[in-house]
Structure 1
Amino acid sequence: MKVQGTLKALRSLAVGVALVVSASPLALSVAHAKSTLSLGIVLEPPHLDPTAGAAAAIDEVTYANVFEGLTRIGPNGEVLPALAKSWEISEDGLTYTFELQDGVTFHDGTPFSAEDVKFSLDRARAEDSTNAQKPLFAAISAVNVADEDTVQVTLSEPVGSFLFNLGWGDAVIVSKESAAGNKTNPIGTGPFKFDRWIKGQEISLDRYEGYWGTPVALEEASFKVIADPNAAFAAMMSGDVDAFPNFPAPETLIQFEADPRFTVAVGSTEGETILAMNNESGPLSNKLVRQAISHAVNKQALIDGAMFGRGTPIGSHFAPHHPAYQDLTGTYAYDAEKAKELLKEAGYAGGFTATLKLPPPQYARRGGELIRSDLQKVGINLEIVPLEWAQWLSEVFREKNYDFTIVSHTEPMDIGIYARDDYYFNYKNPAFGDIITQLNRETDKEKRYALMKQAQEMIAADAVNVFLFQLGKAGVWDANLQGLWVNSPIQANDITGVSWKN
């Protein structure tokens, strides 16, 4: 922090001198001196292997920075080449032939080849796979190495989103030699290599000098874990961090907006924030009860109170910025009396007691208190149980040991999770599964959009969860910093294009 302060002071001195005389070599050297980045993140990842965990925090550190896939998702949600420089698709949509980049090596010096692609995709779709998004690879029937620079992937059925799916963090390419150790010592092909991890504090990356593509401007980057909103505010104000792409204290943004030292960038995310309900847990197995709860939650008050107005109400599990979005926010308008009527009809006129298990993010902790108050008004009493992220992943996500929880699903285009019988919602509707099966096979854009609308309507009608709001993205960073993403079409802090202004 002292070094950073010294550099800023020298910049100011150089500007003052330039008013009297022409810029000196010293001033020019100072202007180009900064090549490090300190970036704040709210959640510490449980580990650093994006192919073996559901936590978005893993991708927030490693996506595009350390690991790369055959394709990558750009800042506007577009599919771009990555380790595959080009591809061809057969007329029947079943065979994808990928031509790979030249001169690629993993960070340990191991050469990258088509064998690594085959290993990674076969590993992700294997019966014993621990990949959190294993269904992304379900349609792959074979991966064949044509030569060291060419790989063919054959599908059992057309998948309209296949190239997009390959751009997820869960689909990055890993090396057989180092894959087993990626949780603690990630070794990828990206422009940054792993340096160190001080648990509870920060994860540091260094520029990989052997990178195959365009060299990045930054020499070093550190991801500092700052969960407390007050601490995040103080860290930005003091210069302890240069940027906070997902700033956790929206109530303080007005102060940053008024300060010329900072840029405040407000964008959108893929984060559908929901009051998730265990559809097999006691009263919640009754659709009438779930519908009552959906009417009982005041979404706009929740957005105003927990997010300080930064969030867009949603009526289903779908991002409002997508062209296929169906506005279903009126399906369960806030109506406490209607909620009481539905509870009475369901046989719960006296209400019931349940648990609300909350992960660490502030939208969950703040929102939980407001939702408890709303449900108490209709006779439902919630016991709030705060959990750390690892506990939440274990108890809620994997073991399904919960009644209610609040979480933001930040994966792109993830409405298909409702078709998974073993998913933590415990929602089982064969008709919905049929819609997703058709969607996965359909390649025509308009037909895909029509199916997406049907899917949105069905889970809203079934009140699988209470669909709260689309998580807004408010980033704060040094005004001299450029290249950070404003929107989050994928859960990532892609710093490959970040640099400091001269």
Structure 2
Amino acid sequence: MNLKTTLLGAAAAVALAPAAWAERGADGHVGVIYWQAPSILNPYLSGGTKDIEASSLVMEPLGRFDENGNMMPFLVTEIPTIENGGVAEDLTSITWKLKDGITWSDGSPFTSADVKFTADYCMDPAGGCAQLSKFEGIKSIETPDDLTVVVTFKQPQPYPYSAFMGTQSPIIQKAQFENCMGAKAQECTDANFNPVGTGPFVVKEFKPNDVIQFVANENYRDPAKPAFATLTLKGGGDATGAGRAVMETGEYDIAWNLQLAPDVLAKMEEGGKGHVEAAFGTLVERIEMNLTDPSPDLPEGERATIKHPHPILSDLKVRKALSMAIDRALLTEIGYGQAGKPSCNLVPAPAIYASDNKECLTQDIEGAKALLDEAGWTDSDGDGIRDKDGKKLSLLFQTSTNAVRQDFQALIKDWWQQIGVETELRNINASVFFGGDPGSPDTFQKFYADVEMYANNFDGADPQAYLAQYRCDNEPKPSSQWAGENINRFCDPAYDAMIDELANTGELEKRAELAKKMNEMLTKDTYTIVPLVDRGRVTGVSNTLGGFKHSTWDSLLWNAADWYRKKD
């Protein structure tokens, strides 16, 4: 089976359902609650899901992934394929044809120059682009006319859709951002907080880490959409409050990421105002191991950088022992029930890319103890904490503030204590933890802790760009204003070689084999990433909201233009 026929030939334009409304704004107001409050509306400066998805109401990519993972054209006439001539036979280029007549929300024309600029903006080495892996392998971008974009690759690209597809790679307006290149990117507050877009809504007022008020985009390409004149995206609080606001009080219409115990969700549904929708994709709750030293004793600018390896977690046997001590089945049962699956994989789906590794699913406390003994970590003074060369086996474990995550922290701390590891727990407000503020010491990117826990996923159905995040020199660091995708500062030339090989491999089975090897290098061979639970995306949806389509392959808000209020 060849990727040319299985993937490129399968990309088809699927028409959206007919509109259920007569005119733009006729259905009044819609409310969305993200208990992790957005802190910025530029997805190229933040890897936080709440920032990326909030911006998706305004900024659009050329194409999106629907609720089934299919590619759909948004700003282009069709998804390029070999069959329609949009992808070169030798896979070295892809040509996008923009829809004629699309304008930005400020009324100016949307052109190929904006698409090219977006790539230039993210690929600027001084900019610290949080989505740089999306542009991996691009040699040049040409714009022969206002409606044509030709992307040429350094080598054949079996999956040429990483750039400009999905909510993590939207188009930004050249006129607004052209003075925000490189090191100036973070300084452009107005552009980063109030972006001009082509999407169904525009920002009316943005209070970072609190609330965003949107209004319908009067220049949106479909004169009948969106059905809602205004949209509020409220941030902050917690998952419990968000779920209640939809399913019990009816104050909001969508509650994002209801990371709550199954019995709690069932009780909320009894409120009668809304219901729970869950769908599995590629969202994995994991523990990240910091391979660099986050000690505050180091000079600022050198903490958590590759200049200083981690004094404890650089030891593979320690990382493996920490993984072996965890009971993933119990974590899944108490945290997610049927909306979770114990997992050893960073890439749990699609099925062809999922490794059959199940070794981590069996908790092994005694084996973990033996491994630490073998590594020379022993309790020399009888205080219950192992030590080596005068250094205690003591770790700072951080995550975002959330009831399920704090339950996980408590259990993991107990299991690690059983093997002689002292653990200090820390939880940080989610809006701060997942924010992109380069000055904050508390972001997951800066990683001023030994281990941290969170979840994320990738757009679409191909993991190439996601796995490419772990390339050497792609880590957050002072020179990139702490933006970057390689959160644990992993670096292995052999892994980089596999990134390059994957980018040059066309046969689907061989791509899957490579992806599995890369997944296992990160999770099974090095224990750099310790997967815990393959999570279904759980969302609270109002019973009166129509048109919502639950996608785990794109933004939760990907088809906001099609939402409407159900009539009695």
1:284 aligns with 2:309: no
Output the amino acid matched with 2:531: F
Shift of 1:199: 4.1
Specify whether residues 249 and 272 from structure 1 end up closer, same or farther in structure 2 by C-alpha distance, changes over 3 A only: closer
Aligned mates of 1:387, 1:344 — CA distance in 2 = 33
Q: In 2, are the aligned partners of 1:203 and 1:224 still within 8 Å (CA)?
A: yes
Shift of 1:361: 4.1
Q: Deviations over 1:220-253 (max 9, x none)?
A: 2111124323422442311221221422433421
Output the amino acid matched with 2:250: G
Output the amino acid matched with 1:178: Q
Q: Pick one of 482, 498, 501 that aligns with 2:563.
A: 498
- Equivalenced residues, count: 472
Q: In 1, are the aligned partners of 2:58 and 2:196 still within 8 Å (CA)?
A: yes
Q: In 2, are the aligned partners of 1:232 and 1:248 still within 8 Å (CA)?
A: no
Specify whether residues 197 and 228 from structure 1 end up closer, same or farther in structure 2 by C-alpha distance, changes over 3 A only: same
Output the amino acid matched with 1:189: T
Q: In 2, are the aligned partners of 1:42 and 1:248 still within 8 Å (CA)?
A: no
Aligned mates of 2:200, 2:265 — CA distance in 1 = 32
Output the amino acid matched with 2:491: K
Q: Pick one of 457, 464, 476 that aligns with 2:540.
A: 476
1:209 aligns with 2:209: no
Shift of 1:451: 1.1
> Who is 1:334 aligned against?
363
Q: Give the fraction of aligned pairs with identical amino acids, expressed as a percent.
A: 24
Q: Pick one of 294, 300, 304 that aligns with 2:329.
A: 300
Shift of 1:168: 3.3
Aligned mates of 1:484, 1:497 — CA distance in 2 = 7
Q: Deviations over 1:377-434 (max 9, x none)?
A: 1111111122234356654544443211001122343233233443221222222222
Moved more, 414-423 or 444-453: 414-423
Q: In 2, are the aligned partners of 1:340 and 1:349 still within 8 Å (CA)?
A: no
Output the amino acid matched with 1:218: F
Specify whether residues 120 and 102 from structure 1 end up closer, same or farther in structure 2 by C-alpha distance, changes over 3 A only: same
Q: TM-score, normalised by structure 2?
A: 0.78
Structure 2 unpaired stretches of 5+: 1-20, 81-85, 178-187, 292-308, 380-385, 387-392, 476-485
Indicate the SS of the match to 2:329. Answer: helix
Specify whether residues 216 and 322 from structure 1 end up closer, same or farther in structure 2 by C-alpha distance, changes over 3 A only: farther
Q: Pick one of 217, 242, 252 that aligns with 1:232.
A: 242
1:65-214 aligned within 5 A: 65-86=57-78, 87=80, 88-179=86-177, 180=188, 181-213=190-222
| More helix, by proportion | 1
1:274 aligns with 2:286: yes
Shift of 1:49: 0.9
Q: In 2, are the aligned partners of 1:40 and 1:224 still within 8 Å (CA)?
A: yes
Shift of 1:58: 1.3
Output the amino acid matched with 2:35: V
Output the amino acid matched with 1:252: V
Q: Pick one of 410, 417, 433 that aligns with 1:369.
A: 410
Q: Pick one of 231, 247, 269 that aligns with 1:221.
A: 231
Q: TM-score, normalised by structure 1?
A: 0.88
Structure 1 outlier segments of 4+, above 6 Å: none
Moved more, 327-336 or 367-376: 327-336
Shift of 1:313: 1.2
Q: In 1, are the aligned partners of 2:225 and 2:562 still within 8 Å (CA)?
A: no
Q: In 2, are the aligned partners of 1:79 and 1:163 still within 8 Å (CA)?
A: no
Q: In 1, are the aligned partners of 2:409 and 2:425 still within 8 Å (CA)?
A: yes
Shift of 1:171: 2.1
Aligned mates of 2:458, 2:472 — CA distance in 1 = 15
> Who is 1:357 aligned against?
398
Aligned mates of 2:433, 2:542 — CA distance in 1 = 34
CA RMSD of aligned residues (A): 2.4
Q: In 2, are the aligned partners of 1:482 and 1:499 still within 8 Å (CA)?
A: yes
Output the amino acid matched with 2:371: L
Indicate the SS of the match to 1:167. Answer: coil
> Who is 2:531 aligned against?
467
Q: In 1, are the aligned partners of 2:94 and 2:152 still within 8 Å (CA)?
A: yes
Specify whether residues 473 and 205 from structure 1 end up closer, same or farther in structure 2 by C-alpha distance, changes over 3 A only: same
